[in-house]
Amino acid sequence: MSESSRLTLGPKPGVTYPIEVIYCGNCSMPIEYCEYYPEYDKCKQWLERNLPTEFEKIKLSDETSEGAGDEEKKRQKRGGKGMMKAKKKDDGPKQVCVSRAPRGKKKSVTVVTGLSSFGIDLKVAAKFFGTKFACGSSVTGDDEIVIQGDVKDDLFDVIPDKWPEIDEDLIEDLGDQKR
Ligand SMILES: [Zn+2]
């Protein structure tokens, strides 16, 4: 507020006097205080029935001002399913996938993906698998580890054992990769 308007007393331009105070039939407060009343919802219902014009005004200010009134309804209206989807996408589906891939004529390797979605350091994991299965194991992609050997079935025990946050149910067996 500027200095001059704060000091101005008396009738203000654009305001009709006397100012009419409208009292709410639900909480008996002037309707501009309704939003502080715990049963603001009921106040609004009363307003909608008895003073539809005032109700429209409140509805409008509700939609433009943050933190007033019916939080839950507002969030549903604003957020909707679109936001839920976006959030889910950010988190990514938490799942580890294991599959067997042919390597050479008789050998297979095991491909593990998804470990980093659990916040697991892939280098540490690759080293762990190498030690555990006594074979080569390396990080081969963004979120991919290739273990030199067919250890896919063992991983269903080994992974939840090493990282308890990964339940056996969260490991998806993708089977054999086609050549
Ligand atoms: Zn009220």
How far are the Cα atoms of 74, 83, 85, 92, 168 from residue 88, in angstroms, in the given order? 21, 9, 5, 6, 22
Which tens digits make up the pLDDT trace of 103-141? 888 889 999 999 999 999 999 999 999 999 999 999 999
Helix (H) or strand (E) holding 145: strand 144-147
**DSSP at 20:** P
pTM equals: 0.48
CB atoms near residue 24 (< 10 Å): 22
| Cα 43 to averaged position of ligand 1 atoms, centre (Å) | 4
| Cα 54 to averaged position of ligand 1 atoms, centre (Å) | 12
| Cα 33 to averaged position of ligand 1 atoms, centre (Å) | 7
Contact in structure between 30 and 24 (CB atoms under 8 Å) = yes
| Cα 34 to averaged position of ligand 1 atoms, centre (Å) | 4
Tokens of 86: 């976006």
Which tens digits make up the pLDDT trace of 61-80? 766 655 444 544 444 444 44
More confident residue, 78 or 33: 33
